[in-house]
Amino acid sequence: MTSQFPRLASRFPRKRAFITGAGSGLGLAMAEALAKDGWSLGLFDFNLSRLATVEEQLSSAGVSVVAYPGDVTHADELTVAVNTFATGRDGLDLMINNAGVACAGTLMETTLDNWQWIISINMMGVVHGCRAAIPHLQRNGSGLLINVASAAAFASAPGMVSYNATKAAVLSISESLCNELRPSGTQVSVVMPTYFKSGLLDSFRGSAEARSLAEQVMDQSGYTSVDVARDVLTLAGAGETYIVLPASARALWRFKRWMPRTFLKSIIAMRERMRRQ
């Protein structure tokens, strides 16, 4: 069978991966893509029924998969799941911290409860996943850690302050880990996609107007979870650290880094155009 991701396959011939938020959206798309390439999978998700359905479908297709229902905000649950999977497979090659939620609102509109909620999942969930996986990845002498952030990490659009902040934290954590893990041979990649069709809004918190705008932009996007999964796994396998998607969004990434003040002004104009569409 020809591998869809030959670089990943050549680097990690034992093909052992663990994915959080694997019950739907991008997490599920990456699980399905890896499954087609013969990877053994550990899948972690908060939604038990959704996770059970995914496990049954993949198992029926002959995939080596174990589902672990749990909450990324609980470090012990995630650590036990990763340790159990890695022990059963004699190691771990790839960890994908994908679980995330969305919240809209200005700084003063966003309640402290919503701040704590989104930080506990989007930021601390990644911290817990990294802490659980890194000992196993380091033990191999080679490993790949993929943290899913968002273009919100650098775009900082108004009205999404809590989401922006947590995704910027994921970017910073990933950049810090690049050098911390380099001596052990572990690669770190951080994923920063713009809007694409996914299940992110399933647990959305915010105004009806903000939700409607997000749904509109997602519906207009021709970029799907399957597309993102393919591009993430291809680029991470090629050794990329910063994975900004789709390719057209990389100009925004460079624009922000080269002319940050001008970029921030342009974001307001782009948001107004979206509202008028």
The sign of the dihedral angle between the CA atoms of 25, 30, 35, 40 is negative
Q: Six-digit token pair at 154?
A: 């650098």
Closest CA to 69 of 81, 59, 58, 79: 81
Helix axis angle for 250-258 and 260-276, nearest 10°, is 140
- Alpha helices per DSSP H over the chain: 6-11, 25-36, 48-60, 75-88, 112-118, 124-140, 152-155, 161-181, 208-220, 225-237, 250-258, 260-276
Catalytic-role residue among 163, 195, 223, 242: 163
d(CA 233, CA 36): 13
Q: Is-catalytic flag, 68? A: no
Q: Six-digit token pair at 66?
A: 């174990």
Kindly list the catalytic residues: 163
